Structure 1
Amino acid sequence: MRTSLSRVCVLCSFISNRMGLSCTLIDEVFSYHSLVLCVNHQFPAMFTAPTTISNYFNMVPIDKSNVRSDPPYIGGAFGIFIIPDRTFGGLSVSQAVNSFITLNPGLTPHTINYKFVAPAKTSIPLQFKLSHFDDGKMASIFAYQNEKPVGMGHIRYTKDSDHLDSSSFLCPDHIGSPHRYPRAEELVPTMEGHRKVVMTELGKFPLEYRPVESPLDLSNERDRMSIWLRIKPHHQDDLKPNDGLLVLLFISDFSILQAGSEIYQKSKVQISSGASLHHSVWIHDTNLDPLAWYLTVVECEVISFGRVRLESYIFNESRKCVMTVVQEGYMQRAKEEMNKL
């Protein structure tokens, strides 16, 4: 029997009444069923590939404390969920830091702590308000859409990039150059079901990515996920030479929660939704090529009661660690009622 969108809405209402789930989670459930419909009935693709990404890395100053950016923005994804109308978290973090740089071109950020307060829509302009602490090398930043807070954070900075802390974390020596690994699009024909749809949709992201290892790999002795990433060649003309840090911040949130999701999957635990909560970044180098490949190595050492703590180390092509990321994420385990849908 063909499932209609109206029946999905009824199912979501049933789940909400039976399980007391929040509206946000119901949106995630609806996204899941929309994805199922896309698989079974060949519904239109859920992501729209951007024609340009220049608006991602260019901010418009409003006054000495406020900056905005122009949509449309790229949506996000988690596991088998496509959320095309929720702005990708890495873009929010990148634009928050870009707002600081736009208003303070002589300062170098070295530590960023950003909290995702509410989902940001992909079609509404983001506005950022900055405030400096007196006698301190720290600024606060708030992100808004239509005067509604969607993010907040703190940025620590220095006047001299030579004062950035280096990282002692070494690149895994078994990982080869990016060209040793197939592009994600080349792996799609070998996949089935929801994963195939999600990988197809993620192919519309402005990132070219080549998976290296996963917690699901039988040969992987650690719960680690590694991916080579870069901006797709046909989008590279949209970038400026000094966009390297902004590109890396954009990359820093890509698929990071996937490591935790796959650990659950390996343990036969189904996840119904997930979200990034708190994103912390330490910058070790500002000499970053926006066109280069970067290797993200994500490890998950803490996973308990719906919370995951993930550590990501990002290396340049010379195998130098240029950024460290720690993220707290939330994962909702699927309940028995949801497994039966």
Structure 2
Amino acid sequence: MEESESKDGYRALGPHLGGAFVTKRVYGGQIIGQAWKTVQLHLKSQRKDAKLGALYHTFIGPGKIDDPIDYKIVESLGNVFVVSAHQNNQLIGLTRLRTEENLHEGDRLDLNYVKDEADYLTLDELAPLIPQEQLFQRKAAELMIKLFAFQVKFVEFHTRIEKKKRNLLYVRYRPELREFVTHNDAIQILLTVSDFFIFEVVSQLLTEHDLVMKTGASLNHHVTIHAVPDDPFDWFLFRTEVAHVGNSRCVIKGMVYDRQYKRLLTITQEGFCPFELKPARESKL
């Protein structure tokens, strides 16, 4: 992800991170993180320093992974900034960011059965252990390994809790990708994680009701920052829950914790998720 700075804004030259399954579409988490960098550069030019308290991002159009993305502050009032993301002269995203002098501290995860990340296998380690007769699951795991920019360890997957669906994952940047990350800002990296694998929990809930999600697209993404991680390349615990599904819309709640189970981010994402009845399998009789 090569980058270029100027007095007028910030340009990400690419190639950019792709989406988990729509691989030629820019991954939304990258746009969110780079919008914050745009504000950081502005504050630095003004010899000011502030912490990101919250942001609200609107996904306007799908970006391409190979073309440059131009970021620019289009409006500011006090500690609130609006950053546009353009690609090929088309607006693809708009982010409203609020800086704070002090962050609102989050709680700690109270799930006492969650173990340290070392007690779980990565998807890379797990895939070869899937029996050959479960060919579909094995191929799906191998595809995810190939496409994901993050390593994953499943703590809870497709778990029913209080009539809702929940996933709990350990997530971190793949070590082999660190040399391609040209920034070392902890919040920017953490924001990139915040949009990861977030529709999967909705897809699995629909599957339980014999429905299938035809596609998934983020509409808006709201994040509150509670704390800054010590090591942005460490493992994070990412919890997602389905808050609502209906009329081709879904609302997903997310929380990101550090390895001491302290909350770093709170996330609310609204998505477009049209679905239909699962096609009936043809009888072999």
Indicate if the aligned counterparts of 1:213 and 1:220 stay in contact, CA closer than 8 A: no
Tell whether 2:107 aligns with 1:168. yes
Task: State the match for 1:61 in structure 2.
Answer: 5
Aligned ranges 1:206-221 → 2 under 5 Å: 206-215=149-158, 217=159
Indicate if the aligned counterparts of 1:315 and 1:321 stay in contact, CA closer than 8 A: yes
Q: Which runs of 5 or more residues in structure 2 are unaligned?
A: none
Letter in 1 for 2:211: V
Residue by residue over 1:107-138, the C-alpha shift from the partner in whole angstroms, topping out at 9 and shown as x without a partner, is 3221110011010000111111103434x210
Q: Which runs of 5 or more residues in structure 1 are unaligned?
A: 1-54
Tell whether 2:67 aligns with 1:124. yes
In 1, Cα distance between the equivalents of 2:161 and 2:244?
Answer: 21
Higher strand proportion (structure 1 or 2): 2
With over 3 angstroms needed to count, the CA separation of the structure-2 counterparts of 1:239 and 1:145, relative to structure 1, is closer
In 1, Cα distance between the equivalents of 2:38 and 2:206?
Answer: 36
Indicate if the aligned counterparts of 1:239 and 1:290 stay in contact, CA closer than 8 A: no
Tell whether 2:52 aligns with 1:109. yes
In 1, Cα distance between the equivalents of 2:184 and 2:255?
Answer: 21
Higher helix proportion (structure 1 or 2): 1
In 1, Cα distance between the equivalents of 2:162 and 2:259?
Answer: 22
Residue by residue over 1:245-303, the C-alpha shift from the partner in whole angstroms, topping out at 9 and shown as x without a partner, is 11111111111111111111122211111111101111111244112110001111211
Aligned ranges 1:169-248 → 2 under 5 Å: 170-189=109-128, 190=130, 191-193=134-136, 196-204=138-146, 205-215=148-158, 217=159, 222-239=164-181, 242-248=184-190
Letter in 2 for 1:61: E
- Corresponding residue SS for 1:223: strand
- Corresponding residue SS for 1:323: strand
Task: State the match for 1:88 in structure 2.
Answer: 27
Task: State the match for 1:100 in structure 2.
Answer: 39
Deviation at 1:234, TM superposition (A): 2.5
In 2, Cα distance between the equivalents of 1:150 and 1:317?
Answer: 34
With over 3 angstroms needed to count, the CA separation of the structure-2 counterparts of 1:279 and 1:218, relative to structure 1, is closer
Tell whether 2:243 aligns with 1:304. no
Q: Please, what is the CA RMSD of the aligned residues?
A: 2.5
Deviation at 1:168, TM superposition (A): 3.2
In 1, Cα distance between the equivalents of 2:280 and 2:40?
Answer: 46
Indicate if the aligned counterparts of 2:160 and 2:166 stay in contact, CA closer than 8 A: no
Task: State the match for 2:257 in structure 1.
Answer: 315
Task: State the match for 1:259 in structure 2.
Answer: 201
Deviation at 1:220, TM superposition (A): 9.3
Task: State the match for 2:79 in structure 1.
Answer: 137
Indicate if the aligned counterparts of 2:32 and 2:192 stay in contact, CA closer than 8 A: yes
With over 3 angstroms needed to count, the CA separation of the structure-2 counterparts of 1:187 and 1:219, relative to structure 1, is farther
Task: State the match for 2:98 in structure 1.
Answer: 156
Paired residues, number? 273
- Corresponding residue SS for 2:22: strand
Residue by residue over 1:82-126, the C-alpha shift from the partner in whole angstroms, topping out at 9 and shown as x without a partner, is 212101111111111122212223232211100110100001111
In 1, Cα distance between the equivalents of 2:26 and 2:74?
Answer: 24
Indicate if the aligned counterparts of 2:53 and 2:103 stay in contact, CA closer than 8 A: yes
Letter in 1 for 2:155: V
Task: State the match for 1:39 in structure 2.
Answer: none
The structure 1 segments of at least 4 consecutive aligned residues displaced by more than 6 Å after TM superposition are 218-221, 338-341
Tell whether 2:263 aligns with 1:324. no
TM-score by length of 2: 0.87
- Corresponding residue SS for 1:96: helix
Deviation at 1:62, TM superposition (A): 2.5
Indicate if the aligned counterparts of 2:211 and 2:277 stay in contact, CA closer than 8 A: no
Identity %: 23
With over 3 angstroms needed to count, the CA separation of the structure-2 counterparts of 1:222 and 1:178, relative to structure 1, is farther
